[in-house]
Structure 1
Amino acid sequence: YKAFLAAAVATLALGVVAYGGGDEKPTSVVLVTHDSFVVSDDVKAAFEQESGLKLRILQSGDAGELLSKALLTAGNPQGDVLFGVDNNLLSRALEGDLFEAYESPALEGIDERYVLDPEHRVTPIDHGEVCLNYDKAWFTEREIAPPRSLEDLVEPRYEDLLVVENPAISTPGLAFLLATVAHFGEDRWAGYWRGLRANGVLVVDGWEEAYNAHFSGAAGSRGDRPIVVSYASSPPAEVIFRTPKPTEAPTAVIASSCFRQIELAGVLRGARNEDGARKLIDFMLSKRFQEDVPLSMFVFPVDPSAQLPPEFAEFAVVPEAPLELAPEKIGANRDRWVKEWTSIVLR
């Protein structure tokens, strides 16, 4: 606890330095976000030129850490806009009264399924599905059919092949747990996890360890597990980052396992530059920003008119009917589900 508090205080101090003081008209807008946030230099420069404001980015750990630190300073925030809360954490953010309502005019072109708060305290910016990925070559070489469903993973032929992330500390791990709740229902998800445990599922702390250390399909990996919880955008990433670039994605997604994550942004309550915050949210819904997110953060734009990079268009899977749970249901049950999962899988 002391270490967390010290980190929070240090981050707050950095935010004060970046934010500046005094009553003069703000010349910058501060975006508080997670460590995975990336924006291209030319896109950042375009916002600064259009708005006349300097964009300062304050990164605060992963999505869970970001939200925890923001709740500590609710009403007296470190910045103007918070980006990175997703549908799995939304209830905590809204209950903590973090945001001022703002309905961007740019929402007119956004599919309503991504708009999770009718009061517009948060605005959808991108979505990215958490899905089971598998190593195509591993299964081809052994003449084993790859799994096609969640149910397949408890079958004997897939024993000791799956690696997942701990949902208590990992965002994709939590999303996969929620996927099983959404698919099997309240009365069957726990039994499914007992089956996975009996079939040798490996649980690790986070995505980096699961994918790069244990998954056999990752570029350069010595892992021996050919099935992993990752993202719908992982196959195009494998194409983009391999040398030489393959003509076919070496990994594939089990579409029926995908759980939708929607990332949101909001004007922080107490923001010093509320006008600049609104301009930033408008810009994040612009085609310029929306077309930047696939190759910057390996997620998908919420603007259906945004053009996808060729690698995404060819190799990414966007499931037509991903698994979903209402944010209110997640908020009411998340802690209980994680606690029960822990007693089943890690006991």
Structure 2
Amino acid sequence: MTLRASAALAAAAALTLAACGQPAAEETTDEAPTGLTVVSHESFVMPDELKEQFAEETGLDVTYTTLADTGSMVNQLILTKDSPLGDVVFGIDNTFASRALGEGIIAGDELTEIDFGDVCVNADLAWFDEQGLPLPETLDDLTDPQYRDLFVTPSPASSSPGLAFLFATVGAKGDGWLDYWRELEANGTLVVSGWTEAYNVEFTAGEGQGDRPLVLSYSTSPAWTIGDDGESTTTALLDTCFRQTEYAGVLEGAANPEGAQQFVDFLLSPEFQATIPENMYMYPADTSVELPEEWVRFAPLSDAPIELGSEEIDANRERWIQEWTEAIG
């Protein structure tokens, strides 16, 4: 893992013009910008005290602009690249990084890793225990008739974790990925619009106490479902995971590139990195950060996550989504 940070420094020059027999013109100076606009997806969280700390340390007046999920955010940044929405962006992940770089919206083609995590199927332990049914372990298990009508996932056409799951199926099944989805559909898999609906409404261990004991979520989710006995009521199936990495970068054409780089550097600071697990449910890029005790026990990363290269994703993303939509969505 390489953490890169670079700063674009703008120098201001004072120019005095004088002519024989005429008074010298007034000295003019290009002042450094005092404003900064941060663009992020809706899951970005920076505690107020750190926002205040960054503003005080830099003297910048910071505006935080929140867009929707990663995909729509990248699309908007591409559409507005001739008149950028801000100076710096957080939340472009490895499923959209190559597209962002290819469209030239990131200054210097440089993205800096800020956090990472695994998108995995989660299971309601209490439900499986009550039913006397063994936990599934693999993607293939989800198509087993004994797990019919038990799995819910957000759509890859409208959800970032849903798209990560589609990539997991491509990585695991290769050219047979769409046949695998047809098997999921035949086994009663429910597809909903987003993670919130899947987890909080349809999942048996969610807020809505739904009727689906298997849900697509994150390997960190079980750290937030701890019962009165100190044990988690859910678990992540670590053989079903796709590794997701989130980046920050200075936007091409930024009005304040120096301030933008200062913000990227601040996201790598120990103070901010330490807040990532509790606020964004991801692992900090700085692996020296001490993790919450609950994470050590209940939020392990997969030892062998399913991965796809960003170039392969970029070359096929839209086609895969279209094929999935036509066949399943």
Residue 51 of structure 1 aligns with which residue? 58
Matched residue of 1:200: which SS? coil
5+ residue gaps, structure 2, are 1-29
Matching residue's letter, 1:86: D
1:235 aligns to 2:222 (yes or no): yes
Which amino acid in the other structure matches residue 322 of structure 2?
A: K
Which residue number corresponds to residue 104 of structure 1?
none
Deviation track 1:195-249 (CA, whole Å, cap 9, x = no partner) reads 111111111111111111100011x32200000111112111223xxxx755011
The percent of aligned pairs where both chains have the same amino acid is: 46
Tell me, yes or no, if the aligned pair for 1:235 and 1:316 is still in contact at 8 Å. Answer: yes
SS at 1:185 equivalent: helix
What letter corresponds to residue 234 of structure 1 in structure 2? S
1:293 and 2:292 equivalent? no
Contact in 2 for aligned 1:75/1:268 (Cα 8 Å): no
Does 1:325 pair with 2:305? no
Matched, 1:199 2:199: no
Contact 1:237/1:298 (CA < 8 Å) preserved in 2?
no
Aligned residues, how many? 300
8 Å CA contact 1:232–1:253 kept in 2: the answer is yes
Compute the RMSD of aligned alpha carbons.
Answer: 1.5
Deviations 1:37-85 (A, max 9, x none): 1111222222223323233211112212211221122142121101111
Structure 2 residue 32 is the aligned partner of structure 1 residue 25? yes
The 5 A counterparts of 1:246-285 are: 246-285=229-268
Q: What is the match of residue 124 of structure 1?
A: 113
Cα distance in 2 for residues equivalent to 1:54 and 1:238: 38
Report SS of the residue matched to 1:137.
helix
Residues 122-156 of structure 1 show CA distances to partners (whole Å, capped at 9, x for unaligned) of 11111121100010000000110010111111111
Structure 1 residues without counterparts, runs of 5 or longer? 1-22, 102-118
Which ranges of 4 or more aligned residues in structure 1 deviate by more than 3 Å? none
Report the Cα distance in structure 2 between the residues aligned to 1:93 and 1:334, rounded to whole angstroms.
Answer: 13
Alignment of 1:167-182 (within 5 A): 167-182=156-171
Q: 1:134 aligns with which of 123, 130, 149?
A: 123
Whole-angstrom CA distance in 1 between matches of 2:220 and 2:61: 31
Cα distance between partner residues in 2 of 1:297 and 1:212: 17
| 1:210 matched to 2:193 | no
Check the 8 A contact 1:126/1:263 in 2, yes or no.
yes
Which residue of the partner structure matches residue 296 of structure 2?
A: 313
Q: Which moved more, 1:328-337 or 1:310-319?
A: 310-319
Query: Is the 1:81–1:267 contact (alpha carbons within 8 Å) kept by the matching residues of 2?
Result: yes
Q: CA–CA distance in 2 between the matches of 1:135 and 1:215?
A: 8
- For the residue of structure 2 that corresponds to 1:39, the secondary structure is coil
